[in-house]
Structure 1
Amino acid sequence: MKIPISVLVLIYKSNRDVLLIERADRKGFWQSVTGSLDAPDENLALAATREVFEETGIAVNQLPEDALQNMHHQIEYEIYPEWRFRYGPGVTRNTEHWFALQVPDNIQIMLSPREHVAYEWLPFELAAKKCFSPSNGDAILKWFSRK
């Protein structure tokens, strides 16, 4: 069963282009890297690092130490009914913690085909609009509004 605590990692380049990935299980659903903790006490930054590697092939530990930034923001949202079977009985809400990761402009992306089928680099404003989840778009806009 999935733990209803997750991370969202928006990945961006120096020109402020943001990486979006298309879900394999939902055509047209574009998002940032997301994923649930593997254990209730898993460190959030380690979970973000793990999810980034699993979904994009990017090894955060090979980037500068400050590349991954905790946005110190979390939201709680209702889990889509069609995805609730992944969680324990009666679990309907998830708490998501936001991170941002700056990557080199020439970074290579290797998608996990089980999870995602395509990726795009988009200017942050367009990326925010293209996300299927409004909160994912909010995370992108929040990050770039502070810079």
Structure 2
Amino acid sequence: MIEKKYKIPISVLVIIHTKNMEILLLHRQDKPNFWQSVTGSIEEGESPADAAKRELLEETGIDHQKFSLIDWNFSQQYEIFTHWRYRYPPTVTHNTEHVFSVEVPEKIKIKIEPREHKEFKWASVSEAIKTVFSDTNADALKKLYEIKQIGDKINL
């Protein structure tokens, strides 16, 4: 009998944005109206930073070595939707999401993973906040906007 492999309830969120605060959004393949930043669960033995680098490359084709991946040293916890809990061990109800960002100089060419996403778009911060499905994604976008408004570099 094959043992079921569960997801680890730790994930990453990577916000990709231009210097002018245009936000890259990805449209999920399996869910209509589900737009998001780069996200994904960590794999066994992987750090959140390594997961962010892997997910960034897998979902967009962006190499973290070309652009700086910034670790916000910030995480958010959210309740996993009941209909997605089968992916996790039976007693798990919450996920911890570590937040990262990448600033690119302009809207760059993106190579989406077609099994996960059907399209991408660049959006203003306000449009992105209204468009993303996840509250934690919207909250991170608001935080990024506030930081950029006061002229600080991300140093969380």
What is the TM-score with the length of structure 1 in the denominator? 0.92
Residues 15-64 of structure 1 show CA distances to partners (whole Å, capped at 9, x for unaligned) of 1100010111101100100000012x42221110100111111111122x
Counterparts of 1:30 and 1:106, CA distance in 2: 18
Following the alignment from structure 1 to structure 2, what is the Cα–Cα distance between the partners of residues 91 and 43? 20
CA contact (8 A) 2:107 2:122 kept: no
State the partner residue of 2:153: none
CA distance in 1, matches of 2:95, 2:79: 6
Count of matched residue positions in the alignment of Structure 1 and Structure 2: 143
TM-score, normalising length: structure 2: 0.87
Secondary structure of the corresponding residue to residue 65 of structure 2: helix
* Stretches of 4+ aligned residues off by more than 3 angstroms: none
Answer yes or no: is the 8 Å Cα contact 1:7–1:98 preserved in 2.
yes
Gap runs ≥5 in structure 2? 1-5, 149-156
The 5-angstrom pairing of residues 1-147 of structure 1 reads 1-39=6-44, 41-63=45-67, 67-147=68-148
Asked which structure has the greater CA Rg, the reply is 2
Percent of aligned pairs with the same amino acid: 47
- Counterpart residue type for residue 138 of structure 1: D
The unaligned stretches of length 5 or more in structure 1 are none
- Aligned-pair Cα RMSD in Å: 1.1
* 1:44-85 CA distance string (max 9 Å, x none): 21110100111111111122xxx2111121111111112111
